């Protein structure tokens, strides 16, 4: 048994994992429904949690809105690494006579009554929550943000999980929670998803944590997808140039309905190949790019409080992002115009650049995300739908 345990860790570390831990399925008996490994593999006995980390300079350039794309490209590579490590561990376990399944890294949600597809979902419960596995396997604890933290890497982790029928020796739980309640995670969210003061309890692996009370998950979906990028005081944004007319509704049903309308209007969701139809395929597609615009609550959460404070300032002191006619997401420098798009959201642009683009005196780029492409085509393209 020890031999399997050690070999699994060796495979993970040799292939790029910074953390790997193992837990028995019993550790998750008290977790919320997404912590049930038998949903993925009925013969589950153990789970292996693996984590890779990200480059801090790229991340700070992202938080300070100096460089949009490098961090997203790196995140895509990190997910590829998780898939490759998970495949190797699964193959090793199968070669040793056990069943093993690599849980999809993202965008795999449990069916919801009345929802035809992801555009009609409102709860987004994952088939299996990697965060719960990472706590049970002793590599992280849950912080105020609801993200998982490790004493060395903070929340800068991308997670993967292998579930297996093998009975493996498990690792001890992480004794101390690295979260010191600095609340920087609450200050960098454009949609104020996480309460600064109100808390709720969550129990994973026998550990009950008091974490920040969270708004409905559709609230994060709206901010993290970039449909609402602007902070409530309109002084800063995440890395998206899109925004909504009004502040988000407090009422869950109204918020859920808004998210459904936004998802149904989003050009990305009408593509046959999108990251919701097959995440793994998208991640390995050389022509698909992870256009990350948020994740700020996780990205600010580094090991030391002084770094976290600095990260918070990078986000909130670096202004507002607009869409340039060339298709880049850049910091606004001058007067901003908000132009209505056919996709419910307005797009923020430089007033001067917008007028120059309408007059045909600047080159129009292709855009990067499906939304950017369609918006640029709609506003300035020859096949304009205006």
Minimal distance, residue 134 CB to ligand SF4, in Å? 14
SS3 24: strand
Minimal distance, residue 233 CB to ligand SF4, in Å? 15
Distance CA 271, CA 287 (A): 14
Phi-psi category of residue 102: left, alpha or beta, with phi > 0 → left and psi -120 to 50 → alpha: beta
Nearer CB in complex with ligand SF4: 154/160: 154
Minimal distance, residue 294 CB to ligand SF4, in Å? 3
Q: In this structure, what token pair is assigned to residue 248?
A: 């988000």
Minimal distance, residue 31 CB to ligand SF4, in Å? 19
Residues binding ligand SF4 (CB under 6 A):
143-145, 155, 179-185, 188-189, 191, 193, 220, 223-224, 294-297, 300-301, 308
Minimal distance, residue 351 CB to ligand SF4, in Å? 27
Minimal distance, residue 130 CB to ligand SF4, in Å? 15
Nearer CB in complex with ligand SF4: 79/297: 297
Q: Which residues contact 286 (CB under 8 A, 6 or more apart)?
A: none
Nearer CB in complex with ligand SF4: 163/188: 188
Nearer CB in complex with ligand SF4: 126/223: 223
Q: Which residues contact 101 (CB under 8 A, 6 or more apart)?
A: 40, 41, 90, 162, 163, 164
Counting DSSP H helices and E strands in the chain, the numbers are: 12, 13
* 49 in Cβ contact with 28 (< 8 Å): no
SS3 29: coil
Nearer CB in complex with ligand SF4: 89/220: 220
Give the helix/strand (H/E) hosting 372.
helix 370-380
Q: Could you identify the residue written with the tokens 């376990």? A: 93
187 burial (CB, 10 Å; 0-12 / 13-18 / 19+) is: buried
Nearer CB in complex with ligand SF4: 8/294: 294
Distance CA 252, CA 148 (A): 25
Minimal distance, residue 52 CB to ligand SF4, in Å? 19
Nearer CB in complex with ligand SF4: 23/188: 188
């Amino acid at each position: 048994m020890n031999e399997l345990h050690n070999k699994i860790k060796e495979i993970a570390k040799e292939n790029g994992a910074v953390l790997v831990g193992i837990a028995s399925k019993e550790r998750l008996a008290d977790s919320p429904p997404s912590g049930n490994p038998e949903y993925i593999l009925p013969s589950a006995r153990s789970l292996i949690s693996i984590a890779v980390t990200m480059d801090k300079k790229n991340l700070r350039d992202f938080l300070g809105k100096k460089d949009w794309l490098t961090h997203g490209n790196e995140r895509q590579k990190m997910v590829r690494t998780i898939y490759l490590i998970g495949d190797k561990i699964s193959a090793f376990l199968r070669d040793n006579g056990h069943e093993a399944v690599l849980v999809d890294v993202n965008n795999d949600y449990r069916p919801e009554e009345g929802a035809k597809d992801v555009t009609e979902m409102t709860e987004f419960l994952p088939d299996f929550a990697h965060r719960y596995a990472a706590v049970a396997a002793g590599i992280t604890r849950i912080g105020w943000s609801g993200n998982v933290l490790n004493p060395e890497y903070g929340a800068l982790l991308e997670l993967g999980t292998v579930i297996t029928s093998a009975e493996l020796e498990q690792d001890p739980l992480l004794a101390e929670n690295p979260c010191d309640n600095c609340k920087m995670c609450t200050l960098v969210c454009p949609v104020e998803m996480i309460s600064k003061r109100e808390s709720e309890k969550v129990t994973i692996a026998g550990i009950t944590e008091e974490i920040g009370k969270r708004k409905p998950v559709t609230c994060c979906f709206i901010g993290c997808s970039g449909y609402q990028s602007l902070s409530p005081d309109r002084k800063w944004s995440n890395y998206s140039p899109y925004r909504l007319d009004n502040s988000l509704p407090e009422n869950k049903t109204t918020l859920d309905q808004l998210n459904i309308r936004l998802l149904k209007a989003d050009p990305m969701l009408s593509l046959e190949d999108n990251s919701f139809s097959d995440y793994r395929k998208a991640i390995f597609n050389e022509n698909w790019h992870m256009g990350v615009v948020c994740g700020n609550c996780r990205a600010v959460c580094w090991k030391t409080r002084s770094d976290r404070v600095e990260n918070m300032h990078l986000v909130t002191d670096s202004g507002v992002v607009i869409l340039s006619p060339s298709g880049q997401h850049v910091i606004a420098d001058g007067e901003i115009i908000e132009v209505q798009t056919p996709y419910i959201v307005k797009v923020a642009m430089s007033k001067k650049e917008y007028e120059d683009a309408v007059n045909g005196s600047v080159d129009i780029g292709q855009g990067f995300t499906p939304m950017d492409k369609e918006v640029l085509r709609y506003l300035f393209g020859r096949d304009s739908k205006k």
